[in-house]
Amino acid sequence: MTQRLFHVLLNGAYPKVPYAGDRGSNFIDLSNTHYDRAEGQRVLERQLKMFIDLEEFGFDGGLISEQHNGPIGLLGNALQAGTYVAARTKYIKIGAVGPIMNDYLTPLRLAEEVAMLDNLSRGRLVLGLPMGHGMQYHSVGMMNPATARERYREGHDLLMKALTHDGPFEWFGKHFQVPYVNLWPKPLQDPHPEIVIFGGGSLETLDMVAKRGYGYSAVGLNAQAAIKKLHERLRDLVEADGGTLDRKQIWASVRVHVAETDAQARQEMEAHELWSQQNFYLSPWQDNFPPGYLSAKSMAGVLGGGYRSASTAAQAYENVINNRNLIVGSPETVLAGLQELFEDQDPGQILLDMLFDSKPEWLSYKSLQLFAEEVLPKLRPGGVPPAQHRKLPGHESLAEYAAKVDPDLPPPTADVDGVRIDVSKAHIPELRTPLG
């Protein structure tokens, strides 16, 4: 059976902004005159430092949530941030969620960036491919919500073919016309990096996940019961095609805070949870779902699945606890809450939202350390991340490179004085001989 993996979500929010309840929104329309450069630098550096430290704590991965044009997230390029982390870590998985494909004029630029990070991380990339929040279709300037979904689907198909097929090949679709698709470099993971799709219940998205074997993480739902229904719907779709849903495809996302006692945990967490509910993602409905952003079928699936069925700003602390979207307490209480979640949904991947960007840094680290020392070892035999025992793709030494490289690769060749020679040996006179 697939061993469960534990990832930590990194949003990189900028919390020192006016209270959203006074204006009804804190997203794309909040003026950046509220941005302070010193505070912004600290937010960015803190997030990346925490990601790097997750490896020492023993987590399996971190997922960077890419956001645009607002204070809910300063990490506007998840792949770029992932490159920073890759250079400073050894085995932890690096999740990049986005990139938002419809932000790109062509998926081939995205394919190059994906392949680059997968190589630099030695095959540790986990790629999230969200549609992107509807609010961002108002602010990026090049995305038409009326054609967003079909453009996303075609872009996805072109991206995946570029990552997995030899080139050059032609692509002439409705939204993209490319005479030569020919990706250099190829990704290190074969055939492609692990893919996870984040969705709010769209039936088209669930169908794509089922057919492709991707991971799925439900977002924006107000209760774990609604999330469970989506997982069951995904399982039904997979089985209808004659397959079996692997539990590694099920990503369970839950907010967690650990303290010494239940009372202390609530004292530490309640205000930060309410800050998140009352400020994070707060936007009018028409901004969340601009006209054309969802098909009628998708809208029915989203609403039927419970996507933000109640205003997040109106959620009482007890309601969030009762809906099991937030597990707060002593190590024993958090352990019991997670075990209940595992029994109910049997996820293979756990996405822990533990950092809450309004928390003081020391408080985030305290919760992470208590989880790593007193909860995680009871959920995983030996407490050791599986990646520590897994050979990464690629090579780790010159000797391994020499053993793996194709000996029949053509040498770098130049025409010198009418003779073609191997330039890698041209500095040695007796080896400067014409190539056959």
C-alpha distances out from residue 350 to 7, 88, 193, 225, 368, Å: 6, 23, 18, 16, 15
Q: Within a 10 A sphere around the Cβ of 310, how many other Cβ atoms?
A: 13
Quick check: pTM over 0.85?
Answer: yes
C-alpha distances out from residue 140 to 21, 151, 216, 236, 339, Å: 25, 15, 26, 36, 41
What fold characterizes domain 5-389? TIM Barrel (3.20.20)
Residue range 67-126, pLDDT digits in tens: 888 898 999 999 999 999 999 999 999 999 989 999 899 999 999 999 999 999 999 999
Give the position of tokens 């989880």.
371
**C-alpha to C-alpha distance for 128 and 242, rounded to whole angstroms:** 26
Domain segments of the chain as ranges: 5-389, 406-431
Q: Within a 10 A sphere around the Cβ of 207, how many other Cβ atoms?
A: 15
**C-alpha to C-alpha distance for 211 and 33, rounded to whole angstroms:** 46
**C-alpha to C-alpha distance for 153 and 126, rounded to whole angstroms:** 19
**C-alpha to C-alpha distance for 98 and 198, rounded to whole angstroms:** 9
Q: pLDDT by residue for the chain (436 residues), tens digit each? A: 578 999 999 999 999 999 988 877 777 888 999 999 999 999 999 999 999 999 999 999 999 999 888 898 999 999 999 999 999 999 999 999 989 999 899 999 999 999 999 999 999 999 999 988 777 777 777 778 888 889 999 999 999 999 999 999 999 999 999 999 999 999 999 999 999 999 888 888 899 999 999 999 998 676 888 899 999 999 999 999 999 999 999 999 999 999 999 999 999 999 999 998 888 767 677 777 777 777 666 666 566 655 554 555 556 788 888 888 899 999 999 999 999 999 999 999 999 999 988 999 999 999 999 999 999 999 988 888 887 778 899 998 999 999 999 999 999 999 999 999 999 999 999 999 899 7
DSSP assigned state of 98: B
**C-alpha to C-alpha distance for 142 and 159, rounded to whole angstroms:** 19
**C-alpha to C-alpha distance for 230 and 207, rounded to whole angstroms:** 11
C-alpha distances out from residue 261 to 15, 328, 355, Å: 27, 10, 19
CB 183 within 8 A of CB 167: yes
Residues in the chain: 436
Residue range 380-397, pLDDT digits in tens: 888 888 877 788 999 989
**C-alpha to C-alpha distance for 292 and 131, rounded to whole angstroms:** 13
What pLDDT score was predicted for residue 386? Answer: 81
Take residue 72 and report the two structure tokens written for it: 């809910």
Where does 49-181 show beta strands of DSSP type E?
61-65, 93-97, 125-128, 169-172, 177-181
Take residue 98 and report the two structure tokens written for it: 């986005």
C-alpha distances out from residue 109 to 75, 114, 159, 341, 395, Å: 19, 9, 9, 39, 26
Give the position of tokens 């945990």.
265
Contacts of 251 (CB under 8 A, 6+ apart): 196, 215, 216, 217, 347, 348, 349, 350, 351
Contacts of 417 (CB under 8 A, 6+ apart): none
Q: What does residue 346 show for φ and ψ, rounded to 5 degrees?
A: 50, 55
**C-alpha to C-alpha distance for 387 and 61, rounded to whole angstroms:** 10
Please give the single-letter amino acid code of residue 412. Answer: P
What pLDDT score was predicted for residue 135? Answer: 78
Take residue 163 and report the two structure tokens written for it: 């990552």
Residue range 281-299, pLDDT digits in tens: 676 777 777 777 776 666 6
